[in-house]
Amino acid sequence: MVIDLCYLIYYFQLQSIGVILLSGCAGILSADFSSGLLHWAADTWVIIVKCNLLKNHQKHFLFLFKQGSVDLPVIGKNFIRPFREHHIDPTAITRHDFIETNGDNFMVIILPLGVMASRFSTCSNDQIAHSYAWYWYLFLFSVFVCVTNQIHKWSHMYTGLPKWVQCLQDCHIILPRKHHRKHHVSPHETFFCITTGWLNRPLEIVKFWKILEYLIESATGQKPRADDFKWAEKRN
Ligand SMILES: [Zn+2]
Ligand SMILES: [Zn+2]
């Protein structure tokens, strides 16, 4: 991240400030949308892909949508369970250390930022100038993906927050505490974006999640969040 930032500063030209701001904003919005989409998927369904072998040795893939159970192999424990437990004990995240909170997200961005750093060191000046706005998009997208869980953790902390974090929350540069509380009202069916939360209201206005859930329910017959009640009962 630091190497990429140094390169971005090194190749900065004032005349391209407009396009940099635009692609940077698009990167942050994309990170916010990705956080919402993954969070929604973990809270609402999981796509299970079943591969059946047909008689003529052709493979047939079956896509099943249903609310993912925490008992599913690998993703159940690592992906679905943290989101579902978070609804029952929202402050548990505030007791996680830096690695537990952010380790997974930091790992995800190693590859794109690594590729970007290698491009900076091997490509010609013309090639870099041509892709410069795209690099800003990718950089800010990755940085915001990286800090998503940290921002989410801060949105649940009511004591001990540094002043600068509170200031970022108050200016709605990162997810504000009051804003995120809307997601924590049962049945947890809205305000899924947890990076900046900028897209929560627009997506709510166009009923994005409701329409998506309606389309999936019509196509598969599966009800969104069908496993929630069972899960909450099991925990009590
Ligand atoms: Zn949730
Ligand atoms: Zn939360």
pLDDT, one tens digit per residue, over 194-206 is 999 999 999 999 9
pLDDT at residue 80 in the model? 65
Alpha helices in 14-60 (DSSP H): 17-44
Band (pLDDT 50/70/90 cuts) for residue 56 is low
pLDDT of residue 160: 86
For residue 180, pLDDT beyond 80: yes
Whole-angstrom CA distances from 106 to 63, 103, 120, 139, 156 are 29, 5, 21, 13, 21
Q: Note the pLDDT of residue 74.
A: 59
Annotated domain spans of the chain? 2-235
**Ligand 2 centre from 132 Cα, in Å?**
35
* Residue 57: count of CB within 10 angstroms of its CB: 6
Q: How far is the CA of 33 from the centre of ligand 1 (A)?
A: 14
Give the mean pLDDT of the chain. Answer: 85
- Ligand 1 centroid – CA 172 distance (Å): 20
The pLDDT score that the predictor gives to residue 82 is 72
Which one, of 18, 20, 234, lies nearest residue 134 by Cα?
Answer: 20
Query: 209: which DSSP letter?
Result: H
Q: What is the end-to-end Cα distance of the chain in Å, rounded?
A: 43
Nearest listed ligand to the Cα of residue 35:
1
d(CA 228, CA 188) in angstroms, rounded, equals 10
Answer whether residue 99 shows pLDDT above 80. Answer: yes
Query: 188 CA distance to ligand 1 centroid (A)?
Result: 6
How far is 25 from 30, CA to CA, in rounded Å? 9
Instruction: Give the distance (Å) from ligand 1 centre to CA of residue 76.
Output: 15
Among 35-49, 65-79, 95-109, 147-161, name the one with the lowest average pLDDT.
Answer: 65-79
Predicted confidence at residue 79, as pLDDT, reads 63
Residue tagged 């099943």 (tokens): 64
**Ligand 1 centroid distance, CA of 84 (Å):** 7
Q: Pick from 44, 63, 87: which is nearest to 209 by CA?
A: 44
pLDDT at residue 153 greater than cutoff 90: yes
pLDDT interval class at 223 (50, 70, 90): confident
Position 106 scores a pLDDT of 94
Percent of the chain with pLDDT over 90: 58
Report the pLDDT value the prediction gives residue 234, as an integer from 0 to 100: 58
The lowest-confidence range among 55-59, 99-103, 173-177, 201-205 is 55-59
Give me the pLDDT at residue 199, please: 97
Around 193, how many Cα atoms within 13 Å sit in the side-chain half-sphere? 24
Q: 127 alpha carbon to ligand 1 midpoint, in Å?
A: 42
Give Rg (Cα) of the chain: 20
Across residues 179-183, what is the average pLDDT? 94
CA 43 to chain centre: 13
Q: Which residues line ion ligand 1, judged by CB < 5 Å?
A: 43, 188
Q: Residue 22: is its pLDDT beyond 90?
A: yes
* 168-191 average pLDDT score: 93
- Calculate how far, in angstroms, residue 173's C-alpha sits from the geometric centre of ligand 1: 21
Alpha helices, DSSP H only, in the chain?
2-10, 17-44, 75, 81-88, 98-108, 110-122, 125-146, 148-154, 163-170, 177-181, 200-205, 208-220, 228-235
Q: Over range 26-55, report the average pLDDT.
A: 78
Structure confidence at residue 73 as a pLDDT band (50, 70, 90)? low
- The tokens for 9 are 């500063």
What are the backbone dihedrals phi and psi of residue 84, each rounded to the nearest 5 degrees, phi first? -70, -40
Cα of 3 from ligand 2 centre, angstroms: 32
* Residues 204/191, Cβ–Cβ less than 8 Å: yes
